[in-house]
Amino acid sequence: MTTNKITYHERLRAGIELVRLGNNYIDAGRIDEAAEILAKEVDFAKSIKNTQAEKQPTFNELYEFVFRNYKHDRFEGRNTKEWGEDYSLRIVRDYMQTLQENGIAYISKHESVTGQFIKFGLDLNA
């Protein structure tokens, strides 16, 4: 299997000046083109993050979703001195953080009222 990709060392031997951009090296003569591409990628990432921020559920909406999909004894049933009076609130805070960071979260089959694994996103659709 052959590839057209020229390695870093091959470019150096050929006298091509390279500039490091993230984990990649690019031809110095193409730095403007690379900067344009990078700017588009950054803008795209920001737009995704902004879209996700707009769709972020409120704490109460997420609490209601988890309440409907969690077994009682694994959620509000654990609001005791042993587990902590705010156990269910801590569970929802963890889910809120996971959704903010990843845009997706999971309820295991052990906690799920259906006994099935539940995957949900920012729109709270399982």
Separation of alpha carbons 71 and 91, rounded Å: 13
Q: Which residue range forms the structural domain that includes residue 27?
A: 8-52
Please check whether residues 20 and 33 belong to one and the same domain: yes
Q: What angle do CA 20, 22, 18 make, to 5 degrees?
A: 15
Residue 56 confidence (pLDDT) above 80 = yes
Please check whether residues 77 and 102 belong to one and the same domain: yes
| Residue-wise burial string across 92-123, b where 16 or more C-beta atoms lie within 10 A, e elsewhere | beebbeebeeebebebeeebbeeeeebebebe
- Side-chain-side CA neighbours of residue 78 (13 Å): 14
75 within domain boundaries: yes
Output the pLDDT for position 40. Answer: 73
Mind listing the pLDDT tens digit for each residue in 102-112? 889 999 999 99
